Structure 1
């Protein structure tokens, strides 16, 4: 069984709780150790302050008889400190005096300050020699009852654990609330993203209302929706254009075939009918091939060969090809400049041929079509301009769209030009890493191509 993944809000709440627990526990342990050290210092000071008085009361005691004689004075001194007890032992360790009258463990086994527990009572024991200047001196063990100190430390430890637990719980609850409040913009983004469909691609996230951390993400999401909306609109228009372009030749084929079959005809009439159908089918096949070419370009499948090309020679060959059409239309062709680049000969010829064909079709009689070549250190610039009607500024951005015509009434239903030439040209230029744009003003239309050398 696969465990459910923990939500981001739960993770943040647990993280807050863990951090608070660690901080609280660390602070509690440090405070507890500081308290123990403080009590130890206080006990040391108290025992050090009592030691001179007891040494004075037991001065020169070297036998149990002498100690017995001074016992009343010793008891009187001990009565001033109810929490203090005293044990006196001989140099050989035998017990001479014990104010507690209890069977405590051998306290003389440890010298200096130490802690011992007996019968649910805690003592701070301090064992020193009675006479510092004598090697064989009786020993004194001062016993300070610190049970109340230990009870305080135990209560503090319980309080620490209780504080840690309550802090962790409170922080987890507050962290869950804070995380839920902080992640509300993410939930809003999820709801908006879930509501996006093909019919609501215009939906946008209110990035101005987003936190700074999510503003960039929301802007990127809005940009993605914008690209999707544009692509969807283009795809819808493309589908409609395909249907529109194919409808006319298919209708022509269907009508022509139906008319041909209405009555028996001789061989020559059937031949003419088939030739007419063949022309329409050839145009349809060419359009399908062009569409496949554009699809390959959009998916980055055009891989141009790289060879050194003299653009002047390539341009002159194309101008020679179009010269009969230009002479028939009374249009003058020219080429200026030279340039060299590495590119695919056939692809670049196709791109330039499309531009020249387009320029010739829209250049009036006695007009001109000029090709200008310029070369710099890093780039080659190709300009193809023609005289003729100025293209409206609002139409310029769409010239390279598939099936787009600046004059919709022009070539309506024509099987000669489907509006794919400029789109194919743009895909070829982009596959070479270049750019193409169009300018049209004062009766001159100019296509500018820039390609890397």
Structure 2
């Protein structure tokens, strides 16, 4: 891992490679353009000499006539020292050569081409002396282009030097620019390294971050917020567990110690064990409920989907709670019907928790209603009861674990641990639904919405 290139060095090398490629491409294109330009200039120069030479040699059709025109021909060639001329007959015999030491072994081709010797380069242009005559002698003009070649060679050397220096300079400047540009990332790394359970409130300064890192900064801060919230909830959950278990454990210890202070009758021991059993059963139920909530929070609740007639499920639960309702003279009723796909056991547990909660807070001679209705692609279940109005600021907390809206209920109650509504919410969410509570004017309503 330590041998890998850093991001800044990778960017610097990438900048250098891009600069080298661009510089090299530009240099090659300029070099090719220069060669083409010189070639065009040479061709224009050579073609401009042809009319004069054809005028001087207008009647030359053999070597003897050429001898008569040599003085005028040499005078014309003397006007341009870098230009040489070679004249051959139709049979290839050389009639005239102003540069015999250089052009003796040179292959001659019709048209424009380049010839190179050990020290000199020539642009050769071979054409017919009399274009309209079939057996016309051949003229070969030789233009010394050594200075062109030297210029192009120097240009190539300059291109390579420029490419190398540009790549080096870009690599150094790119490394500096990359390190400066990546400073926010190093800042993020330093802050992330300093985050611990005691410093989850640390946040990255979003205003100082470049636009490209704004989303990452926002996501990082949001992650820290979620971690902080989860850690606070975990700490509160641990405190709640200890708080809830303290009283029943203390009761068990006290009851057991009192029972063992002196010998007792068998019936007394039996009553003591029955009392301890009640406390232990409550603790076991609370532990099971906490495990159930833990599975729900990790997405491990997988409802079995089956067709359920909600009116049948509600009637069965109302019949179960009827004896309890009769003891307090509370009337139970159900309205509406609908069919959904869900887990029978889980939904019965959720609705049972809601009905149990409604009965506990409904005064004597009160009423509990279960209303079922289908709205578009969802099914709504309202469980209502008359009774004390729950303050609006407490409604969002009703589904928190171990929360009790009734201040009269003491800690460690062996009847209810404050997990029922939390479990109900987990079941409804596992079915893809929502649950909320509304309370006003002496009427409390739990609204459950499930997909149809």
Count of residues paired in the alignment: 452
Task: Report the Cα offset of residue 3 of structure 1.
Answer: 7.9
CA–CA distance in structure 1, aligned partners of residues 107 and 389 of structure 2? 116
Partner of 1:161: 160
Report the 3-state secondary structure (helix = DSSP H, G, I; strand = E; otherwise coil) of the residue aligned with 1:381.
Answer: strand
CA–CA distance in structure 2, aligned partners of residues 108 and 299 of structure 1? 88
In structure 2, the CA distance between the partners of 1:283 and 1:193, relative to structure 1 (3 Å rule), is same
Partner of 1:276: 275
8 Å CA contact 1:108–1:127 kept in 2: the answer is no
CA–CA distance in structure 1, aligned partners of residues 377 and 131 of structure 2? 99
In structure 2, the CA distance between the partners of 1:340 and 1:95, relative to structure 1 (3 Å rule), is closer
8 Å CA contact 1:411–1:417 kept in 2: the answer is no
8 Å CA contact 2:370–2:383 kept in 1: the answer is yes
CA–CA distance in structure 2, aligned partners of residues 385 and 127 of structure 1? 110
In structure 2, the CA distance between the partners of 1:106 and 1:113, relative to structure 1 (3 Å rule), is farther
Alignment of 1:229-248 (within 5 A): 229-248=228-247
| Structure 1: tracts of 5 or more residues without a match | none
In structure 2, the CA distance between the partners of 1:176 and 1:70, relative to structure 1 (3 Å rule), is same
Partner of 2:326: 327
Report the 3-state secondary structure (helix = DSSP H, G, I; strand = E; otherwise coil) of the residue aligned with 2:269.
Answer: helix
Report the 3-state secondary structure (helix = DSSP H, G, I; strand = E; otherwise coil) of the residue aligned with 1:109.
Answer: coil
Partner of 1:383: 382
| Structure 2: tracts of 5 or more residues without a match | none
Task: Report the Cα offset of residue 446 of structure 1.
Answer: 1.0
8 Å CA contact 1:107–1:127 kept in 2: the answer is no
Alignment of 1:396-411 (within 5 A): 396-411=395-410
The one-character-per-residue Cα deviations of 1:328-369 (angstroms, maximum 9, x if unpaired) are 223332222222222222222211111111112222233322
8 Å CA contact 1:363–1:386 kept in 2: the answer is yes
Partner of 1:439: 438
Partner of 1:256: 255
Task: Report the Cα offset of residue 33 of structure 1.
Answer: 1.3
In structure 2, the CA distance between the partners of 1:138 and 1:339, relative to structure 1 (3 Å rule), is closer
Task: Report the Cα offset of residue 230 of structure 1.
Answer: 1.4
CA–CA distance in structure 2, aligned partners of residues 318 and 9 of structure 1? 67
The one-character-per-residue Cα deviations of 1:417-453 (angstroms, maximum 9, x if unpaired) are 1101111111111122211101112222111001112
Partner of 2:31: 32
In structure 2, the CA distance between the partners of 1:317 and 1:55, relative to structure 1 (3 Å rule), is closer
Task: Report the Cα offset of residue 268 of structure 1.
Answer: 1.4
8 Å CA contact 2:247–2:411 kept in 1: the answer is no
Task: Report the Cα offset of residue 132 of structure 1.
Answer: 3.1
Report the 3-state secondary structure (helix = DSSP H, G, I; strand = E; otherwise coil) of the residue aligned with 1:70.
Answer: helix
CA–CA distance in structure 2, aligned partners of residues 61 and 306 of structure 1? 110
Partner of 1:214: 213
Partner of 2:87: 88
Matched, 1:363 2:353: no
Partner of 2:40: 41
Task: Report the Cα offset of residue 28 of structure 1.
Answer: 1.5
8 Å CA contact 2:244–2:411 kept in 1: the answer is no
8 Å CA contact 1:107–1:125 kept in 2: the answer is no
Partner of 1:52: 51
Q: CA RMSD in A?
A: 2.1
CA–CA distance in structure 2, aligned partners of residues 141 and 351 of structure 1? 107
Task: Report the Cα offset of residue 100 of structure 1.
Answer: 2.6
CA–CA distance in structure 1, aligned partners of residues 31 and 100 of structure 2? 33
8 Å CA contact 1:303–1:431 kept in 2: the answer is yes
In structure 2, the CA distance between the partners of 1:378 and 1:72, relative to structure 1 (3 Å rule), is same
The one-character-per-residue Cα deviations of 1:238-289 (angstroms, maximum 9, x if unpaired) are 1111111111111111111111111111211111111111111111111111
8 Å CA contact 2:309–2:337 kept in 1: the answer is yes
